């Protein structure tokens, strides 16, 4: 099994930035594709971004494209989500997710593909 732990959430004013981190442990040797999802109050868990196991290809939800950037540091089994120009509507609990193997492109938006999840970290953007 793969365990995931997120960090880096907090309270920020609109227009500000935050960087989330997610570190994977356990059965990571097969290689992971990683993703970030978020769930706002009263909403379903929604796709934010993903980064593939092979080639580190990235894919973003339209709502965050150009503002958020996902990256990975393979040596540390860590994935990051740099969030810039934050808006109040970005307020949510952000979850890190992993799947064993390669996934890239729009097909990775489906949260059912991801078999491991972190506990989430709260991001609050004030207006």
Widest distance between CA atoms in the chain: 43
Contact partners, residue 74, CB within 8 Å, separation at least 6: none
Write b or e for each residue in 51-72: b if 16 or more Cβ atoms lie within 10 A of its Cβ, otherwise e: bbbeeeebbbbeebeeebbbeb
Return the bridge partners of 21, or none.
7, 80
What pLDDT score was predicted for residue 27? 83
Return the bridge partners of 52, or none.
none
What pLDDT score was predicted for residue 54? 80
Q: What is the mean pLDDT of each run of 10 residues along the chain (127 residues)?
A: 94 98 88 94 95 89 97 91 97 96 91 96 97
Phi and psi, residue 69, nearest 5°: -140, 130
Query: Which pair of structure tokens corresponds to residue 37?
Result: 């999802």
- CA dist., res. 26 & res. 63, Å (int): 32
Residue 89, CB-side half-sphere exposure with 13 Å CA sphere: 4
């Amino acid at each position: 099994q793969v365990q995931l732990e997120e960090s880096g959430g907090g309270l920020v004013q609109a227009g500000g930035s935050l960087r989330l981190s997610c570190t994977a442990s356990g059965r990571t040797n097969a290689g992971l594709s990683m993703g970030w999802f978020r769930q706002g109050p009263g909403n379903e868990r929604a796709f934010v971004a993903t980064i593939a196991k092979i080639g580190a290809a990235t894919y973003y939800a339209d709502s965050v494209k150009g503002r958020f950037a996902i990256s990975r540091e393979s040596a540390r089994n860590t994935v990051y989500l740099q969030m810039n120009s934050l808006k109040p509507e970005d307020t949510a609990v952000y979850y890190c997710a992993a799947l064993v193997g390669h996934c890239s492109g729009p097909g990775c938006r489906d949260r059912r593909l991801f078999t491991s999840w972190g506990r989430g970290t709260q991001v609050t953007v004030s207006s």
